[in-house]
Amino acid sequence: LELLWGRASLVVFAVFFNTGMPSTTGVMEAIFNAQNLEFLLVYAMVGGVFAALVFAVSVVSIPMILDRDTDAISAAITSIQVVFVNLPVMLLWGALLTVLVAVALIPAGLGLIVIGPWLGYATWHAYRGSVKWLDKV
């Protein structure tokens, strides 16, 4: 997914900056210029699609791989199924993750010392509550 996102990002840049990429010294001014509002919206939408895909694939697959002797494909499929069955809750969970990590990054990333383990613990319990197993381990 990372390679696809990189390619999509290059395509978006190529479409909106068809006269050439801005110089490295003025890239921030060129990108965040008010005249490039369409670029920012499209770039955010493309990034959001890839972020949603990564979230859907990994929200329960990573804890599942740690908990069970399962392969990545089965875990990813289970994760996608959990997201679609519990879509409103998962949208809220994704928004909470985004906001809490963004707030934790404000003090030079030091907030991750508190937020990281807390979200890890919460993610583990979200996985255990959303994936039901027939056998007990």
| 32-85 pLDDT tens trace | 888 888 989 999 999 999 999 999 999 999 999 999 989 999 999 999 999 999
**Cβ-proximal residues to 18 (8 Å cutoff; 6+ apart), any chain:** none
Residue written as token pair 């804890």: 63
Per-residue confidence (pLDDT) for residue 136, from 0 to 100: 62
Question: Could you tell me the two tokens for 126?
Answer: 């979200």
d(C-alpha 29, C-alpha 102), whole Å: 23
Beta-carbon count within 10 A of 103 CB: 11
pLDDT in tens, 34-45: 888 898 999 999
Do 71 and 53 form a contact (C-beta atoms < 8 A)?
Answer: no
pLDDT in tens, 106-128: 999 999 999 999 999 999 999 99
- Phi–psi pair at 40, nearest 5 degrees: -60, -40
Do 127 and 81 form a contact (C-beta atoms < 8 A)?
Answer: no
